[in-house]
Amino acid sequence: GPDKPALEQIQILKTYGVSPSSFIWVHAQRGTLEGNITAAGEGAWVSLDNINGENNAEPGERFSIAWYADRILSMKEEGLLGKVLVSHDAGWYTPGEENGGEFRGFTDVFNLLVPALKERGFTEKEIELLLSQNPMNAFSIRDVI
């Protein structure tokens, strides 16, 4: 969602002694780049969701594959790639529709976003961080003392 509620939630967590690293800002693509940078800089996870090559966005237009790749590049340039998550927001099942409705697969991150990141100079190690290490770290259960 937008910046204001996400950043307010981070402040509430901090007020109660909870690390911002416990917070995943979902649909953070709806926020500004500045908001994404602020949240990640505080330690929160920034999840850029709904990566979708079928959304009819023109290259460079908001929510196009190029837009997502550029947003991730900006986070990398700020030293915050290690706090970025990505998702398709795909799949779905719609009760009452034949066969559960229209299904959108889980391939756009791999087939469209990864090549766009490579075009922007991302290394295999950085892609591994984004797609494997970051989710593992974000969803790890940690002991609290």
For the stretch 58-78, pLDDT in tens is: 877 889 999 999 999 999 999
**Amino acid present at 71:** R
Q: What is the pLDDT of residues 80-116, one digit of tens each?
A: 999 999 999 887 778 888 888 888 888 999 999 999 9
pTM assigned to the model: 0.91
User: Which superfamily is assigned to 3-138 in CATH?
Assistant: Metal-dependent hydrolases (3.20.20.140)
Say how far apart CA 32 and CA 38 lie, in whole Å.
10
Residue whose C-alpha is closest to residue 27's, from 44, 53, 8, 46: 46
Average pLDDT, the chain: 93
